[in-house]
């Protein structure tokens, strides 16, 4: 579809506050740096949202044919890590390593592809020291008694990303000003070692890097001073990204990021969900009760820049949507596999797919291309032509069960195959397919539904038997009650022929 391939990809640039046509610095290649987590505890929904948002960008860029270098760091040297390690008596780097591994487990459950590189601060101290030396040499930082501070007043464009003005940023109004700083907003590039802290030798004595410098140093190390996309959560705009810009520019005047991209907050009762407010959920807490794919679906039901309010009912809806998607794909596989095996002449003389399938595929393909290319509008994709295509698959599967002429059957099979292919393509870019089989995912979704209902499958099967007996006894109030009670817990009973089966549902 040549016309659709010409649609330009537009992304919202936090620096210009505009959607801009995406043009990489090197044709065909994209370099992208995203700020990762400070690893000292299990990651929460806010981390999941950032990871999924940029995973979708990563996948879509690859779908557009770009070769993408995606760097996402781990902060393994930080005040919070040291504090936690002191509480638990663990070595700070070991504690951090442990939570980096837990983060990887969460990310793989959420179907986030691994970035090309995941550098840690502790492996890049040399690069960080080199950059600080360069910044001092260029006149933008100063050393005081083993600490090195960045001098914000030396950088005329300080505040260019966040719009924060220096006079609005007087640290002294809230906390005691470090009197050794030339300006209250000056920030640490290097911190002198305190007792019981991880430390590395440096030209300024033993110490460790400040937080902001790591991303300037590691992005330059892997992507050079000039790269395409820098991403992270919206709360990183100030001071983290503002300080990164100041540092990178001070080290190298050529440094430039083309697009700054930020994902919105996760909120709880419309208040920002954060560790400091204590109103957060870890990814693990959610995935104990909901399938990680349901969580991923939930995370992309809002546009990545909008706030996303945590909602059990939306998680139930997302869980139901994932079940519907996987059940449809499984049904399609079950129905088509035997037909494809017996038909040895399929490759020759295939009929054209029917008009309904043609319409579905075209609509889905156009909507996917236009909406994803308009700053990744995932909510539109989830609710629009994708659902229509799945409906088409389900209605065609019903039709396929009826008696029909061989040629008509062949056409329907071909129509189903091609619609399913388009559906899978879209789901793949959204990261909503799994490396596991459809059936495995369906079983896992049923398992989570049972957990939420606080039931074992054997309990449900027993209740099904009881209901069957009640119906035989014509005790309909009892049989209805069993069904209604289970539906209220998110377990739907369905009578298929002489059999009763169950599947998860949104609790009634
Ligand atoms: Zn960063």
CA of 12 to the centre of ligand 1 (A): 19
Phi, psi torsion values for 271, nearest 5 degrees = -115, 140
- Kindly give the distance from the C-alpha atom of residue 132 to the centroid of ligand 1, in angstroms, as a whole number: 16
Length of the chain in terms of residues written: 508
Give the distance (Å) from ligand 1 centre to CA of residue 441: 35
Distance set, CA 374 to CA 20, 70, 371, 430 (Å) = 10, 21, 5, 15
Distance from the CA of 210 to the center of ligand 1, in angstroms? 11
Rounded to the nearest whole angstrom, what is the distance from the C-alpha of residue 233 to the centroid of ligand 1? 10
How far, in Å, from the CA of 141 to the mean position of ligand 1? Answer: 19
Output the CA 240–ligand 1 centroid distance in Å: 6
How many Cβ atoms from other residues are within 10 Å of residue 208's Cβ? 24
**Measured in angstroms, how far is the CA atom of residue 361 from the centroid of ligand 1?**
40
pLDDT of 174 reads: 52
CA–centroid distance, 51 to ligand 1, in Å, is 13
What's the pLDDT at 276?
Answer: 78
CA of 34 to the centre of ligand 1 (A): 7
Looking at residue 356, what is its pLDDT? 97
| Residue numbers in the chain where pLDDT is lower than 50 | 1-4, 171-172
Ligand 1 centroid – CA 279 distance (Å): 24
Cα 372 to averaged position of ligand 1 atoms, centre (Å): 26
Report CA(91)–ligand 1 centroid distance (Å).
23
SS3 481: helix
* C-alpha of residue 367 to centroid of ligand 1, in Å: 34
Q: How many angstroms does the Cα of residue 60 sit away from the middle of ligand 1?
A: 22
Instruction: Read off φ and ψ for residue 228, nearest 5 degrees.
Output: -85, -55
Q: How far apart are CA 344 and CA 420, in angstroms?
A: 21
Q: With CA atoms as reference, report the closest residue to 369 among 425, 432, 301.
A: 425
User: Ligand 1 centre and the CA of 137: distance in Å?
Assistant: 23
As a CATH number, domain 11-132+212-288 is 3.40.50.620
3-class SS string, 348-412: CCCCCCCHHHHHHHHHHHHHHHHHHCECCCHHHHHHCHHHHHHHHHHHHHHHHCCCCCHHHHHHH
pLDDT of amino acid 168: 52
Torsion sign over Cα 397, 401, 405, 407: positive
- What is the residue extent of each domain of the chain? 11-132+212-288, 312-439, 454-504
3-state secondary structure 332-352: HHHHHHHHHHHCCCCCCCCCC
Cα of 236 from ligand 1 centre, angstroms:
8
State in Å: Cα 282 to ligand 1 middle.
Answer: 21
Strands across the sheet containing 226-233: 67-72, 29-34, 226-233, 256-263
Instruction: State in Å: Cα 88 to ligand 1 middle.
Output: 26
How far is the centre of ligand 1, averaged over its atoms, from the C-alpha of 371 (Å)? Answer: 29
Distance 241 CA to ligand 1 centre (A): 7
Q: How far is the CA of 172 from the centre of ligand 1 (A)?
A: 25
pTM above 0.75, yes or no: yes
């Amino acid at each position: 579809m040549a016309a659709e391939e010409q649609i330009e990809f537009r992304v919202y640039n936090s620096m210009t506050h505009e959607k801009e046509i995406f043009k990489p610095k090197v044709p065909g290649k994209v370099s992208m740096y995203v700020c990762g987590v400070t690893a000292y505890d299990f990651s929460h929904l806010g981390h999941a949202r950032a990871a999924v948002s940029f995973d979708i960008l990563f996948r879509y860029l690859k779908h557009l044919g770009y070769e993408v270098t995606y760097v996402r760091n781990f902060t393994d040297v930080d005040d919070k890590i040291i504090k936690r390690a002191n509480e638990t008596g663990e070595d700070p780097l070991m504690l951090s390593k442990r939570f980096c591994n837990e983060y990887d487990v969460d990310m793989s459950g959420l179907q986030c592809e691994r970035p090309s590189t995941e550098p840690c601060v502790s492996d890049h101290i040399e690069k960080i020291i080199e950059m600080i030396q360069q910044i001092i040499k260029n006149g933008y930082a100063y050393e005081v008694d083993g600490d090195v501070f960045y001098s914000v007043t030396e950088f005329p464009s300080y505040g260019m990303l966040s719009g924060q003005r220096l006079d609005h940023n007087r640290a002294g109004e809230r906390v005691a000003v470090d009197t050794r700083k030339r300006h209250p907003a000056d920030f640490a590039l290097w911190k002198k070692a305190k007792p019981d802290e991880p430390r590395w030798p440096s030209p300024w004595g033993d110490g460790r890097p400040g937080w902001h410098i790591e991303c300037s140093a590691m992005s330059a190390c892997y992507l050079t001073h000039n790269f395409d996309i820098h991403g992270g959560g919206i709360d990183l705009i100030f001071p983290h990204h503002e300080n990164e810009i100041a540092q990178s520019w001070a080290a190298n005047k050529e440094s430039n990021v083309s697009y700054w991209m930020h994902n919105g907050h996760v909120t709880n009762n419309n208040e920002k969900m954060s560790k400091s407010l204590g109103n957060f959920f870890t990814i693990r807490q959610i995935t104990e009760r909901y399938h990680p794919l349901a969580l991923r679906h939930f995370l992309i039901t809002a546009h990545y820049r909008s706030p996303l309010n945590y909602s059990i009912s939306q998680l139930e809806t997302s869980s139901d949507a994932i079940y519907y998607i996987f059940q449809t794909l499984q049904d399609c596989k079950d129905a088509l596999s035997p037909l494809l095996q017996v038909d040895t002449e399929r490759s020759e003389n295939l009929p054209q797919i029917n008009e309904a399938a043609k319409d579905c595929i075209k609509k889905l393909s156009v909507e996917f291309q236009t909406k994803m290319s308009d700053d990744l509008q995932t909510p539109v994709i989830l609710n629009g032509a994708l659902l229509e295509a799945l409906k088409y698959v389900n209605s065609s599967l019903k039709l396929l069960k009826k008696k029909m002429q061989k040629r008509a059957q062949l056409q329907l099979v071909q129509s189903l195959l091609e619609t399913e292919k388009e559906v899978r393509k879209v789901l793949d870019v959204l990261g909503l397919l799994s490396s596991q089989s459809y059936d495995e995912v369906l079983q896992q979704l049923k398992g989570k539904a049972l957990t939420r209902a606080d039931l074992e499958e054997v309990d449900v099967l027993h209740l099904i038997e009881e209901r069957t007996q009640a119906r035989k006894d014509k005790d309909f109030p009892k049989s209805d009650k069993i069904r209604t009670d289970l539906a209220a817990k998110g377990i739907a009973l369905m009578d298929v022929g002489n059999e009763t089966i169950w599947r998860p549902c949104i609790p009634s």
